[in-house]
Structure 1
Amino acid sequence: MEISSLSPFKTDTIIEPFRIRSVEPIRFTTMEEREQLLKEAGYNPFLLKAKDVVIDLLTDSGTGAMSSKQWAGMLESDESYAGSSSFYKLESAVQDITGFKHLIPTHQGRAAENIFFTTIAKKGDVIPSNTHFDTTRAHVEHAGAEARDLVIDKGKQPQSDHAFKGNMNLEKLQDTIREVGSEDIPVIMITVTNNSGGGQPVSMANIKGVSEIAHKHNIPFFIDACRFAENAWFIKTREDAFADKKPIEIAQEMFSYADGCTMSAKKDGMANIGGFLALNSDELASECRNLEILTEGFPTYGGMAGYDMEAVAQGLYEALDPDYLRYRIRSISYLGDKLTEAGIPIVQPTGGHAVYLDAKQILSHIPPTEYPAWSFNNALYLLGGIRGVEIGTVMFGKQPDGSEKPAAMELVRLAFPRRMYTQSHVDYLAEVIISAYEQRKKLEGYKIVDSPDVLRHFSARLKPIKGS
């Protein structure tokens, strides 16, 4: 047979677009061991030791595997205190992708949020977003302002079907501006993808719409860009006008509508640490740099080592690689499909970095004030050593005045570290979740016995209500 006469091989299988050259062992524990470990940790998965976790899906922040090019760049880094060449490499990458004039590097995303909101926000201000995530909300409230969530209604309905459930409600945004007044809205934010709402994307049309409203009222518009590349892929695959665009071109257009962004480079920067604030305003950049010097470091390193800046500069481009994004999004939907086939309610459609289990439906016998998502998350650890994170009333229920009200949704987020786990890990994960779901009637609620005033989910200690 002539080689040229062969028909092209066609497959629907999406394989990992990388090879593995270094491996990390996993320590397996028994259920009896995990029961004791969880009790010692105050029934808070955050307080478990990583070595005692079989599959760690607590977060996708800084937990992924870096590439050979990133490691090579780290070896070539410049660790100069001022004027490091690694800074200028990172600056070039950020300016190329975002188009923003000024780069303010920080050790991670929440440091960028701290600098930004400390500089712009004051008591009585309102900062609208589709949905603020936990650290963003905490920094807004620490400055005395109100973090107001304006996601579309379908974004708060886990089973609803909408291609862009992370979209901001433009009518509510306009109502907020009329109610509050533009002078008391220092910035309008939008999170891409919308982490608290199931990792759901925001459409280009919505980003443009928010931008137009903001600029009509002379309000700066900023993007929380942690997962900008994943959002760009959803725009490419779900918004017809962008089907033939490259992810980097889509990202560049997204940023073109904004005045700046905050970024945790531990997500779509593909690095283990790092972040930045990027913006166009000369005056605001100067104010933020003054605070950066006080809290982070000199403006050409800002809390990052040179090798970290090298890793992020390379990682920002790797996150926009179409083959990587195709694999990344499909690996999430693969688990979502298996759970949906088993009848387990999840946030639909699956998001970009995580599968979100709908604990409000799964544990309908446990009221929100007894933390059903926390309960189901702990069950996953007990049964199979799986560590996820609650995004529900423990995380978002406590109000600035100290009162508590149920969160809009009770979710368990299973966030996938980038380039880390294989299909067999995901198959095992599905088996554990299905087993926990089949035993859901045995699960009980929890109560908080000790917690801090801010971001309590990180260090709170709880007890099962039945056993207390």
Structure 2
Amino acid sequence: MSKKYVAEPFKIKMVEPIKMTTREERIEKIKEANYNLFALKAEDVYIDLLTDSGTGAMSSTQWAGIMLGDESYSGASSYFNLLDSAKDIFGYKYIQPVHQGRAAEKVVMPLLLSEGKIAISNMHFDTTRAHVELTGAKAIDCVVEEALDTTTYAPFKGNMDVERMKELINEYKSENVGAIIMTITNNTAGGQPVSMENMREVYKVAKESNITVIIDAARFAENAYFIKTREDGYKDKTIKEIVREMFSYGDVFTMSSKKDAIVNIGGLIGIRDEEEFYNAVKSRTISFEGFVSYGGLSGRDLEALAIGLNEGINFDYLNYRIGQMEYIGSRLEEENISFQYPVGGHAVFVDAKKLLPQIPYYEFPAQSLAIELYIEAGIRSCDIGSYMLDNDPVTGEQREAELEFTRLAIPRRVYTQAHLDVVVDALVSIKERAHEIKGYEITWQPKVLRHFTSKLKPIDK
């Protein structure tokens, strides 16, 4: 029996029409897009689960805030409203706005990493890995083994493997570990949360070795919700109290605010208390993003972000938000379609390797499934697997991902239960003909972050 759908803690005030297309039209449109879901026109997509980044619906309060945005170049009141909101939630002394998460990474990573250094993470996501490697450093994933078993329950599959992390520090020497990156929630592992205990242990080891800990904070509120509902000692804590403790186990954070702050653009850098590091961040922000008090954002964006940070930590909202994932997961369980279990906070990650075992990693099973979802029902999703991994920067060879996921990323406050049922029904239809589905090969690709712009073609065999 499917989990009961958690009713929306809001009412719908405005609607946006979406276009229905035929199967024949979709076959032609994905071909024109060179089988890259990113190359599709949004108007040709019925249910868009490509990403939860910047795709959420802002509240009436946020839209009202946009009208109050202060567009002064320097020292705008909207900037100070954002500082007040962020400092109150995270407890960090210094906050720097930027235009999105990868901008934060571009500013921060070269200050800590360079050729010969390594970055250890519970799992690097695509832009994080790219910005690590662009400095000449090496990105090493160090997630717990439970994350690699998609069918077995573990409450915190996003955790860092602390013993393995210690071994890496000893192997490479602490002075060569430029940063330890804690990604919360762990997107690449399936949107899986990190426990407070694990964050505490990692920070303790890092401080003993004098290594900076960066928190990749894109989905910090969802991670806090999982701690509250799954970890002993936290059920009576507020989300804000949990967030404050989480961030006490980091020195710096980078954040795409387009996720848990429910805005369409925006990012943050936080520095706990190191003024010298903050001054370096300010200098790089001015070079790449604009003056420090707007960081590549308009005043109205700063205002919406200040409001959204607080809306994103509301427990009733988070209960509904994670409830959507749990509803999809319960339906997939009924249909014996494997996914990263339990569901993550922002998406359901379908196990494409299990659904399409005939497709080897170098023919991209997760991308193949994503393409089939579009053809079947106009649903746009994305690969989180070997296709998303760029070729090895040293050997040039195709890297094999530990997990082959097709990610169904659910935009915040956008889709209803009926939409989610369409998604599951489409996967059921694909499952019935899964043995007929073939893989793809890349016909053109850039050197970095290839999955955004690569061109592919079906393998005919």
Q: TM-score, normalised by structure 2?
A: 0.98
Partner of 2:362: 369
Q: Does 1:451 align with 2:411?
A: no
4+ residue segments displaced more than 6 Å: none
Check if 1:420 corresponds to 2:414.
yes
Match of 1:148, SS state, is strand
Contact 1:57 1:387 in 2 (8 A): yes
The answer for unaligned runs of 5 or more in structure 1 is: 1-10
Asked whether the 8 Å contact 1:397–1:406 carries over to 2, the reply is no
- Cα distance in structure 2, aligned partners of 1:315 and 1:463: 41
Q: Quote how far apart the aligned CAs of 1:14 are.
A: 2.2
Instruction: Give deviations 1:256-305, integer Å, cap 9, x for gaps.
Output: 12112000000011100000111021111111111110110000001011
Equivalent in the alignment of 1:102: 94
Structure 2 residue aligned with 1:317: 310
Q: Quick one: which amino acid aligns to residue 405 of structure 2?
A: L
Q: Deviations over 1:375-400 (max 9, x none)?
A: 11100000100000001111115211
Residues 5 and 324 in structure 2, CA contact (< 8 A), matched pair in contact too: no
Paired with 2:123 and 2:156, the residues of 1 have a C-alpha distance of 13
Match of 2:35 in 1: 43
2:436 aligned residue: 442
For residues 277 and 182 of structure 2, the distance between their equivalents in structure 1, rounded to whole angstroms, comes to: 19
2:81 aligned with 1:71, yes or no? no
Aligned partner of 1:217: which letter? S
Q: Hey, what does 2:213 align to over in structure 1? A: 221
Query: Contact 1:397 / 1:407 at 8 angstroms: preserved in 2?
Result: no
Q: What are the within-5 Å matches in structure 2 for residues 162-311 of structure 1?
A: 162-279=154-271, 280-311=273-304
The alpha carbon displacement at 1:12 in A equals: 6.3
**Where do residues 37-186 of structure 1 align in structure 2 (5 Å cutoff)?**
37-186=29-178
The aligned counterpart of 1:384 is 377
Tell me how far apart the structure 2 counterparts of residues 250 and 347 of structure 1 sit (CA, whole Å). 25
Indicate the percent of aligned positions where both proteins have the same amino acid. 49
Aligned residue identity for 1:403: E
Q: In structure 2, give the amino acid aligned to 1:337.
A: S
1:113-134: CA deviations, max 9, x gaps? 0000122211010110100000
| Cα root mean square deviation, aligned | 1.1
8 Å CA contact 1:123–1:143 kept in 2: the answer is yes
Distance 1:243 1:352 in 2: 17
- 1:464 aligned partner, one-letter code: P
Structure 1 counterpart of 2:22 = 30
1:432 aligned residue: 426
1:57-99 CA distance string (max 9 Å, x none):
0000000000011111111111110111111111111111111
The 8 Å contact of residues 144 and 160 in structure 2, kept in 1 or not, is answered as yes
User: How many residue pairs get matched?
Assistant: 457
Q: Is the partner of 2:387 in helix, strand or coil? A: helix
> Which whole-Å CA distance do the structure 2 matches of 1:131 and 1:266 have between them?
20
Cα deviation, residue 160, structure 1: 2.5
- Structure 2: stretches of 5+ with no match in the other structure: none
Partner of 1:3: none
Q: CA deviation at 1:428?
A: 1.0
Return the alpha-carbon distance in structure 1 between the equivalents of residues 322 and 214 of structure 2.
25
Residue type of the partner of 2:401?
A
Deviations 1:400-448 (A, max 9, x none): 1211121111110000000000001011111111111111011001000
